[in-house]
Chains A and B, each alone.
Chain A
């Protein structure tokens, strides 16, 4: 709630709807990486706007997930500059290693593979975003290491 108030305070009085995008980021982080309808309805109440105003925004922007995702979402860039730097091989390799297709989540709910458009890391291609972090200059070895790293991280928590 403190974070919510901090976000809303950035906009003039009566313009609290402006906080919708940042608040939806906050909601998605709090609801395990996606936005169930209940979460969107709650955001509408908090900002004193109609639920449809939240839905139309949540469905427009590509960063909001409208169905559950794994703990780690691999968002791999597939646009021109990444493609000419070999992103296709990386995507295929991740598919093989995780045994999933783009848009799918592994059975253990750890990983989701999502293909995205340009993330502004063209000079460090191929790349993917995982949570807040950019993973750049990807190679097969690096992908292996990243997957192992997250598996270890989860094992340590359990």
Chain B
């Protein structure tokens, strides 16, 4: 069994309740942080841990914290980003659903370090029952003196509030999330000013992902240096991976980022291999926005080296031959899946979720969906592939927020690695409506599980 720092106690019966969580050693990190540590030393431990944002961008969390402005007399806020909406990602839901007090403990320590007395959990509206679980846990924590006034006699006041969104992927972007939390449409703001200077209600604000904030608990417990020893290179600690698609064992797994992609897919401890004895065709390793990789480039890098489940290895080769760790949403496609159709559903998703502020994204996502629909329904022309390529290139980098890039990358990667499948669709208009391109793409023999 791999090392578990976050999900270690996930299977303890009743761990969702305060009493069991406390009995299992819960809130001891909060006690240590608030009673024995200074604000500076907490930030220092998080910096030393090398913890990188687990929401997708992978920005060092300690560094993000150190940017927060501290103007005299202005309240500061910590906001927990629980708007998990990246297709393929369902790890934060799992953490909140089964270990709500772990998140609250991480939030308490982080709120103390950042000086946030009113901390908000922005949770996607659809996770209504998870919001209820969090509210209940907040009630228990308050009753037991971990939230409220003068916590542990330190003079620190802290309340955690749950704020439900209402269905908008864009609100996972931190400035859109802040707008939404202010009761507005989720239109991302132009940066600068960054939230650390002017965020929620124009006050200094830090926005961190659920998993990032939960990871603060083991970091405080074991110390930043020890945490940094786990993993490899700049991929320190453990990472939650939500695995889905055509595998035998979909679910949420905690990995220490030294495992190879091949072992993660085929070992019984994790995905358990491809479902129904099929062959692996492709994978989107870090949530729908990251580039899709064909099986050969997924298991080995372009240099022929083993690819591992960590930030550096997954992005080895750049976008030409690599992908990204992203949010850890690991989507496996088997030999029966059609790349054109898969790309179409993602293009539709981004068209639906574009906030409409920037023309390249608002118009471009709609055009990409229409062209992909045309190819998928057997009416495409070869020039459509170049048109798609041209549109995605004109969206990328030309928008206020990264949603534009996130919409462009899946289309670009699909064409980059599966152009022959697009061409087959176009040249076999009737056949493509009834049959599948399958694995014809691969010149090399494809990996078959033993």
Contact = CB atoms under 8 A, between A and B. Distances in A.
B87 A57 contact: no
B124 A120 contact: yes
A133 B129 contact: yes
A69 interface: no
A25 interface: yes
Contact of A17 (B124, B129, B182, B355): B182
Contacts of B242: 122-123
Contacts of B166: 21, 24-25, 61-64
Contacts, number: 146
Given A120-B84, A120-B127, A123-B242, A10 B185 contact: no
Interface residues of B, number: 56
Interface stretch (A77-85, A90-98, A99-107, A144-152): A77-85
Taking each of A24, A81, A121, A132, which has the highest tally of chain B beta carbons within 10 Å of its own beta carbon? A81
A79 B163 contact: no
Interface stretch (B55-63, B106-114, B339-347): B339-347
Interface residues on A, range: 35 or more
Contact of A125 (B244, B348, B349): B244
A33 to B, nearest CB: 13
Contact of A120 (B93, B129, B183, B349): B93
B244 A123 contact: yes
Contacts of A132: 128-129, 132
B92 to A, nearest CB: 8
A61 B84 CA distance: 15
A120 B85 contact: yes
A122 B90 contact: yes
Interface stretch (B139-147, B150-158, B329-337, B426-434): B329-337
B204 interface: no
A61 B352 CA distance: 11
A81 B90 CA distance: 11
A139 interface: no
Interface string A106-130: 0000000000111111111100010
Contacts of A119: 126
Contacts of A19: 183
Contacts of A61: 125, 165-168, 186
A63 B88 contact: no
Contact of B250 (A62, A123, A133): A123
A18 interface: yes
A21 B87 contact: no
Interface in B84-107: 84-90, 93
B218 interface: no
A-B CB proximity, top 3 nearest = A20-B183, A61-B166, A62-B167
